[in-house]
Amino acid sequence: MRGLGLALLLAGAPARAGTNVVLISLDTTRADALSCYGRLPGLAPTAPAEATPHLDALAREGLRFERFYATAPTTLSSHATLLTGLDPHQHGVPRNGFPLAEGVPTLATRLAGEGWDTIGVLGAAVLDSDLGLARGFRVYDDDVGAVTGAVATRADNVVTRALAAVDARPSTAPPLFLFAHFYDAHAPYDPPEPYRTRFAPQGYHGPFATSMEGRLLPLREAIAAGQADPLDVAAVNGLYQAEVAYVDAQVGELLQGLATRGLLDDAVVIVIADHGESVQTNAALAYTHGSGVTDDVVRVPLIVRSYGSNAIVRRGVVERSANMTCVAPTVERLVGLEPSLGQDCWQLVRPGPVNDTDGWPERPSPAAFAEATRPHVTASSTWNNVGLRRAVRVGEAQLFAGPSAGEPPMLIGVAERGTARHALRDLLAERLSAWDAVTPPFRSDDPTGALWQVLETLGYVDPVSDERTGP
């Protein structure tokens, strides 16, 4: 485990009574992979209707955001937004392997400075401490391959390490901020039993019955050509859903462990995903993320629940759209701090009556921007991702553009026709152009050495000419 000693923390800002914070990140988990959001398209009819009972219960007992969006479909960039409240044009992390700049404050640095004991436990080396997100954590356990030499680990190992780190705290430790990252839903989908069998098509004995190794790219090509076997598609979707179901069970184990230790007596739990995953419905980008900004890869779950006698989060469903930049400042406000990390969503989560409906143009939600991170750019004079697919969402209106592909702005999600529709499209296009006009400079500090090998092993290194070959 990495981090400053507890003695250093206790010698700094004085500990104070406060709410424990548990932030759980589900890597590569699209919203409809959780049963409380619907059902993953293309599952076998025999698959269980309820795939994620623990997270579903958390949503019933707390607050679920129906339309919540990530700012990028890539792990490091999205987590940088999650922990800083800044979008990619502000925090300057274009994709995996590019460290967060020194001096950028994070949720961990803020909470540590206010007296919280900060612990982070990771499921994959893509968030290695060298990439800048470790700052502010007393413990940042990124040693996912200590025994096996692997670059990712299963969810049960994350739970074991997280509870061990919690148990190592003295009995007089200050309030806890625990960040737990689960990587299992990322390709290649290799769920343990009984989840693998539970979500498989009944009687399936095809190529994905035992392993996906070397088989996913041919399936993508078959889907793009309209020649994929529906049973193969159902089998792979089942493997992906099984991974999410397994993580759900382990999240239940983690929360139960924290409850047994009394750490949920006064706490707020936030469950979120960094990005989603395309399935067969996106034929050009099946079983990938990074190259698109449609709902399958940037609409993610967000569930917030408070524990204790003084509820600080209402129960129900947030219908109004929101985006990942609001999470860190909302956590600050939830624990009684003045937000310092951006614009919060407090008005959507606070107890009491809330008007959270979107209405264009009288009452639009704040604009949510997103940009693709692939195909990788190797040389440029502008921000790495400017030429890639991008989107702006305001309420139910979504505008997509693909500059490098010559795709004109496309507006969806609104009923207006004629002049009104054109005016809305032009307005959102202006907002997207304004966002693109303020970007960091091009970053050429591509990872090398051990970090490059980690990214290659995880599938993040692909030929520049083929944006579909990796996740």
The pLDDT value recorded for residue 452 is 62
Asked if the bond preceding 375 is cis, omega within 30° of 0, the reply is: yes
Per-residue pLDDT of 380-404, as tens digits, reads 778 888 888 999 998 888 888 877 6
The pLDDT value recorded for residue 363 is 62
Pick the CATH number of 6-349 from 3.40.640.10, 3.40.50.10140, 3.40.720.10, 3.30.70.1230: 3.40.720.10
For the chain, the domains span: 6-349, 368-444
Query: pTM to 2 decimals?
Result: 0.91
Q: Judge contact between 177 and 114, C-beta under 8 A.
A: no
Buried b (16+ CB within 10 A) or exposed e, 118-130: bbbbbbbbbbbbe
Residue ranges of the chain whose pLDDT lies below 70? 1-17, 146-150, 310, 355, 358-364, 377-379, 404-406, 415-418, 445-471
The pLDDT value recorded for residue 5 is 40
Q: Judge contact between 258 and 54, C-beta under 8 A.
A: no
The pLDDT value recorded for residue 466 is 35
The pLDDT value recorded for residue 454 is 66
